Structure 1
């Protein structure tokens, strides 16, 4: 008895069609996602650019006001004025905003470092966290440890009560010498809303090595913490800070969590201006 195998028939168009449609849908979805991501990146760049312009305008206005208030008409231009016509104003703003206090728990670096970076930030701000995790360690290693840079942190809560509570908590941690450890713990990941409830902040303080947690809780809720945060906020508003993170590098505004090369360029400019001013004395 003989048997024969029928030839294998090719897949019909109807069996191929669903797979092709699925592949096309996947490609369309991937394209849409890429376009959405690119649009978001453009929006962030535009927002950062707008913030830079606003900061520059405000810095210039504050510099002029400070100069007038201190006898600006007889102010001697810095030696680097010829390199940047705004340098004298940046110098004025640097002197106004950089505290350089030796015992400031919210600062790192030598008080007499030639360049001071002042950061205005909110603890619910994801880009502030990005700067803390990625750029700040590099800046400390490359510039702070070498005595070139000092970093001074300012609480600038703009996202509501959880941000204000976290800002007060960071100040409270600083009263026990653990500001930077607590700061880094807060920014270890993006935390919002209930993640910044008082009990959660106490837990983070414990992790950060704050020893007296009862004092921490009391300081967090005290008037001194509220006054300190308000002082930082008012300083930021005065120079035109409207978004976070915002920075002053030697009085020169830098808005947003910029690439490392932007901070390097700003530090180099501020360092050169400080050296020129010193040489011109």
Structure 2
């Protein structure tokens, strides 16, 4: 059946229920003449009279009564389905899996969820490892894979090279990134290459780490224990530097870089729960920008 024929069926059901072309036209927001034309087209196409018209009323014929008995419940089901969708908009529900490293979860995702989830108790969120199967992933940078959307959700970030005062009491502080090769460095499992830049001049230093940690939180603790120099995100050690328990070096070589982005498939359907999370993350990012 052609798609436009459903409009004819809806017109027939509306007229038959209303018992009047005038009331049905007002309900459908069309003219009486257009509605009459639609009904005639339907009757001509199926070669059956569906409505009996008088000067005072309109009533279904026997064929019309049978068709109405079949169609009316179907249109009611469609109306109920649309109402249910509206209910989901007002009371969003669903489950989301978001891949996020520990730092991104703590500084970006959890503050948003702390406001979002109490308002929408039917939304469920699982925070998983960045490489686990998920609906969206939070990562640094803005490198797009094919058919992927990258939504900026965080301000620019900086790295910091830090060590404990006790460590620098034993070893002179490095003045250049290249001098890190002669220091005890605390690397992360994700890689031993530390990247620096100054005045547009990049320097990559591959440190020979005696200690390798799983994440920045462990590297911070190792640096506090005097085990060497850690290269971590600035805000991970901001309070330690303010207290003097960690000392920063090579600050002028640590240039800002693009912060966290939320990556998700371009063709992913935006259900209510996912749309709410996108909006909340985007709004937070806009507020956080200088």
- Provide TM-score, normalisation by structure 1: 0.25
Structure with the higher strand share, 1 or 2: 2
Q: Tell me: higher relative CO, structure 1 or 2? Use CA pairs within 8 A at least 6 residues apart.
A: 1
Structure with the higher helix share, 1 or 2: 1
